[in-house]
Amino acid sequence: MKVFYGWIVVAGAFLVLFVAYGAQYSFGVFFSAFLQEFGWSRASLSGAFSVYAFAYCVFGFPAGRLTDLWGPRVVIAAGGIFLGAALTGMSLVTQLWQPYLLYGLVAALGMSTAYVPCNTTVVKWFVARRGLAVGLASSGASVGTVVLPPVAQLLVTTVGWRTAYVIFGVGIFVLLNLVAQVMRRDPESLGLHPDGASRPLAVAVGAQAGAGPLARVIRTRAFWMLGATFSATWIPVFIPFVHIVPFTRDLGHSPLTGAWAVSTLGIGAVAGRLVMGAVSDRIGRKPAVGVAMTLQAVGFLGFLLADRGLPLLFGSALVFGYSYGAVSTLFAAIVGDFFGRSQAGELVGFLFALAGVMAGWGPLVAGAIYDATGSYDLTWLLSALLNVGAIVLLVRSQPPSGARAC
């Protein structure tokens, strides 16, 4: 029973991330529908997603803090209300400022209760199998990315984008509020122990020295090095999810092909989360993250060659998705390793805000580059170079002196 309930938490996190991220990365499908109906520029519409990415990462910090204080059940349920209402409201859009408000702010507030609360809750339930558990839970985001964009495209084609948004909004509201009921803060709240152990784990040095309140942790070099590392790799991370559908259409392919390209990103991410989460338990978190960042650079360079045929387009999407899934999975786990699990929500939330707000610039800059040059080539090259910089920063990152995983 002790281990069993931990896996219930993992399953709950999987479902929350499935619907939240599946809806998030269906934006590329609706992006094309908006461009076709309203004739807005790619940069101006990309700005709505950039505001969204910026805001939901910033909101991730209070969401993590509130998860530590109140537990994930209340936080995730509230997020379902905001995200469901925002997507339903998107069905009424007629002016460009409305996606900025509804998607950029309200949906971001709801989305902030997905990644940080789910992943940090799983971190608190597991230690020895932390990489595997977080990988399984976070794979829900990738499975959602595989399943929901084609569903969104089929709905847009058959019933229109407005009705499709209503269906998405109502579905998310119902499911997130149901799943939230099984989420629990940590094993101690049920009289259990991490990994289903029969006795409490010994308090690790890292938990004593480095995992205290945020005010103490932010004074460590390790904290800021991790922030810089993930900032560099996340600046371009949303670009394929927002622009790959119009990019695919620029190459002469159908809208459904573009939706399947988004799903290919998701397929790769499922593999990246499951494989690299478990692998990181064996080879270490830093080597696993380094491999993922290298593959992300390769994926971006592959997009430069995508005009040579669909195999290169889908192959590059698969490699990028694998690396994206691995990096986003290992982020919460490596923070837990460096600083302990007791304040994981607050610490991951703060770093997620710090690094994630940089990701908000990616789609906007990519849209501006396209509007100026008529091509995404410079975008893909710069994205690859940012990941090279991230690898250099990762190599120089070390846990606080005397800390060990807990």
pLDDT digits (tens, 9 = 90+) for 373-396: 999 999 999 999 999 999 999 999
Rounded CA-CA distance 394/398 in Å is 8
Q: Around Cβ 76, how many Cβ atoms within 10 Å?
A: 27
Closest CA to 108 of 389, 360, 341: 360
Q: Which helix (H) or strand (E) holds 50?
A: helix 42-70
Confidence at residue 204, expressed as pLDDT on a 0 to 100 scale? 43
Rounded CA-CA distance 18/145 in Å is 8
- Return the SS3 of 57: helix
- First-to-final CA distance of the chain: 22
Confidence at residue 205, expressed as pLDDT on a 0 to 100 scale? 39
Rounded CA-CA distance 204/206 in Å is 5
| Residue 195: both structure tokens together | 């990994």
Residue 132, phi then psi, degrees to nearest 5: -65, -45
Rounded CA-CA distance 183/176 in Å is 11
Place of tokens 């209340």: 74
Q: Pick out the chain residues at pLDDT < 70.
A: 1-4, 196-213, 341-344, 401-406
Confidence at residue 198, expressed as pLDDT on a 0 to 100 scale? 61
- Which residues, 6+ apart, have CB-to-CB distance to 233 below 8 Å? 293, 296, 327, 386, 387, 390
Rounded CA-CA distance 290/326 in Å is 10
Closest CA to 15 of 140, 122, 187: 140
Q: Around Cβ 303, how many Cβ atoms within 10 Å?
A: 26
Confidence at residue 2, expressed as pLDDT on a 0 to 100 scale? 45
Alpha carbon 84 to chain centroid, angstroms: 18
In the chain, what are the domain boundaries?
Answer: 2-188+195-395
Place of tokens 């409201």: 89
Confidence at residue 166, expressed as pLDDT on a 0 to 100 scale? 96
Rounded CA-CA distance 318/303 in Å is 11
Running DSSP on this structure, what letter comes out for residue 340? -
DSSP 147-201: HHHHHHHHHHHHH-HHHHHHHHHHHHHHHHHHHGGG--S-GGGGT--GGG-SSPP
Confidence at residue 209, expressed as pLDDT on a 0 to 100 scale? 39
Confidence at residue 389, expressed as pLDDT on a 0 to 100 scale? 96
191, burial (CB in 10 Å: exposed 0-12, middle 13-18, buried 19+):
exposed
- Helix axis angle, 255-283 to 285-303, nearest 10°: 160
249 and 29 in contact (C-beta within 8 Å)?
A: no
CA angle 326, 364, 322 (to 5 degrees): 15
CA angle 140, 276, 237 (to 5 degrees): 65
Instruction: Identify the CATH number of the domain defined by range 2-188+195-395.
Output: 1.20.1250.20
